[in-house]
Structure 1
Amino acid sequence: MTKWITIALIIVCCGTSNQHSLYSEETGNSAETIIVKDIPYRDHKTNKVLTEYMQERCRLDVEYPSNDAGFATIVWFHGGGLKSGERSFPERLRNHGIAIVAVNYRLFPKAKNPDFIDDAAAAVAWTFKNIESYGGDSQKIFISGHSAGGYLTSMIGLDPSYLKVYGIEANAIAGLLPLSGQTITHTTIREERGLPRSQPISDKFAPIFHNRKDCPPLILITGDRELELWGRYEENALLARLMKEAGHQQTKLYELDGFNHGTMVNPGCDLVLVEIKKFLDD
């Protein structure tokens, strides 16, 4: 796969962001954005049992334009290896007239597989069922996240069974845009089974296990293959190849030359915005 040089892209995105400022002084942005925090996305209607840990972690924040309607939404899952991390709004995704839903989910070892995947599905389902009350368009919901968040993005988008539990069709997602996510069975899931990091497996908890022709558009973004986490680019390249072999016509793979696993987030978010604009303009 040819490497993509993104310097010009980054300059364009940064240079135009001030034209779309929507953020309030209360949060360091203009008064035209509203932020609603600490919303539980699970309740007793969908869960017979809500543990204390579920009530603590299964929450999200929403940032959305206050003077617009029909806007797109990005559901964002944080990274941290399924072991750590906190929800936040990625700065490079803000200021573009779209809503961001920043999600927390349960973490290993308090949570076991597939709790965190189920949480991700529940949060996306909440977004589908509630974003219109904030002015958004439920047909313009995109899913993204970095590292473990990228893994969750791919899992709930490629394996429709998780969202089906909550009455949502995975194919209703407007686009999947994982940043540097694992596409084989996640390292932490293998750790839970007592397997070493160096023993890769691909079972039903691997996004590549669920490659299929009829899924939402898939934009895979990684850092430089020589600077990324071990095998991360290659995993994504394999998924891209399998998706194309399956007949999926809207899979793209980007490799960000010169960026490692951590530094690829900002240019990766720039690409997310560019790809979402393409989808919305079609």
Structure 2
Amino acid sequence: MSKVFKRVVGLACAGVMGWLLSACSPVRMLNGLTPTRSFEKTSDIAYGSDPRQTLDVYRSKDPAPGAPVVVFFYGGSWNSGSRADYLFVGEALASRGITTVIADYRLYPQVRYPEFLVDGAQAVGWTYRHVAEYGGNPQRLYVMGHSAGAYNAAMLALDPQWLQAVGMSPDNLRGWIGLAGPYDFLPIKDEAVRPVFFYPDSPPESQPINHVSRGAPPALLMAAETDTLVNPTRNTGGLASALREAGVPVDEFYFSRTSHVTLVAALSRPLRWLAPVLDHVSGFVNH
């Protein structure tokens, strides 16, 4: 089979899966195909007083001592999403021995920027203080996110004020992982996102790329080559270049068979053939 034919077949399959994942209840389909016997899950842990300030913890049923820890933030344009939709992410990371925290956070219109970053920092603070109770090592702590969640992870890793508010600093992070994140998106084109960031008066300090510094934690950045929602060249490529110029270690990968949505879906068992997203995350966290 020629390389060209393989690529055409791969793109066709990715297109079909993208259509399926844009149909009714896509995450229900993925979660329904996710095995549940490989991990232990502790649900509905409050890290704040608001009903949205709640998280779940996933861990391997056979954890190694002092397991690495990832706090994962989902996307949804800061106006939608639920941690219950990301069981497949918890299972994927737990299957590689990573204790995983998946946190809800307040969304628009309940809040605007920067309140969801306040929530993210509080979730990380809870994790740092309590994850040892679940077999995780707080000295091996990472933040990770997809799309808007990758933005949240980036801001927590790059702008010290958010973690400082919970008695921490980016120095407490061993690194951070961004999947298809918007890191440099002013002026805002997406009408659904504009009110979240006070368009047209969106503050420049809301952009992760404006907080790059030499002391930032190492980064793993991944994107789909043909992402039509978040420009991968400007956002992933631009941030990776800025980090390197500041002397920050960064790994950068682009995949041809994924879209903006299927990039995170590639963590699920049925779709891991799309891209080695889980392998890269596991290698970064377990090195």
With the shorter chain as reference, the TM-score category is: 0.7 to 0.9
RMSD in angstroms over aligned alpha carbons?
2.6
Q: CA separation of 1:273/1:100 partners in 2, compared to 1, >3 Å: closer, same or farther? A: farther
Q: How many pairs does the alignment contain?
A: 240
Alignment of 1:27-42 (within 5 A): 28-30=35-37, 33-42=39-48
Q: What whole-Å deviation, never above 9, does each CA across 1:91-131 have from its counterpart, x for those lacking one? A: 53342222111110000011121110110111011111100
Residue 41 of structure 1 aligns to which amino acid in structure 2?
A: Y
Aligned residues of 1:80 and 1:147 also touching (Cα < 8 A): yes
Aligned residues of 1:202 and 1:209 also touching (Cα < 8 A): no
Aligned residues of 2:107 and 2:116 also touching (Cα < 8 A): yes
Q: CA separation of 1:278/1:256 partners in 2, compared to 1, >3 Å: closer, same or farther? A: same
| Partner residue in 1 for 2:210 | 209
CA distance in 2, matches of 1:230, 1:94: 28
| Partner residue in 2 for 1:242 | 242
Shift of 1:160: 1.1
CA distance in 2, matches of 1:273, 1:240: 20
| Partner residue in 2 for 1:78 | 74
Shift of 1:273: 4.1
CA distance in 1, matches of 2:161, 2:124: 13
Q: CA separation of 1:273/1:216 partners in 2, compared to 1, >3 Å: closer, same or farther? A: farther
Shift of 1:66: 4.3
Q: What whole-Å deviation, never above 9, does each CA across 1:73-93 have from its counterpart, x for those lacking one? A: 211111100000001331533
Match of 2:59 among 46, 50, 64: 64
Shift of 1:168: 1.0
Q: CA separation of 1:158/1:259 partners in 2, compared to 1, >3 Å: closer, same or farther? A: same
Aligned residues of 1:179 and 1:268 also touching (Cα < 8 A): no
CA distance in 2, matches of 1:65, 1:29: 11
CA distance in 1, matches of 2:203, 2:198: 15
Shift of 1:35: 1.1
CA distance in 2, matches of 1:220, 1:28: 27
Q: CA separation of 1:271/1:28 partners in 2, compared to 1, >3 Å: closer, same or farther? A: closer
Shift of 1:38: 0.4
Aligned residues of 2:96 and 2:282 also touching (Cα < 8 A): no
TM-score by length of 2: 0.75
Percent sequence identity over matched residues? Answer: 29
Aligned residues of 2:157 and 2:217 also touching (Cα < 8 A): yes
CA distance in 2, matches of 1:145, 1:193: 19
TM-score by length of 1: 0.77
| Partner residue in 1 for 2:251 | 252
| Partner residue in 2 for 1:125 | 125
Alignment of 1:255-266 (within 5 A): 255-266=254-265
Q: What whole-Å deviation, never above 9, does each CA across 1:127-183 have from its counterpart, x for those lacking one? A: 111001111111111211111111101010101110011011212111110101110
Unaligned runs of 5+ in 1: 8-26, 43-49
Q: CA separation of 1:268/1:159 partners in 2, compared to 1, >3 Å: closer, same or farther? A: farther
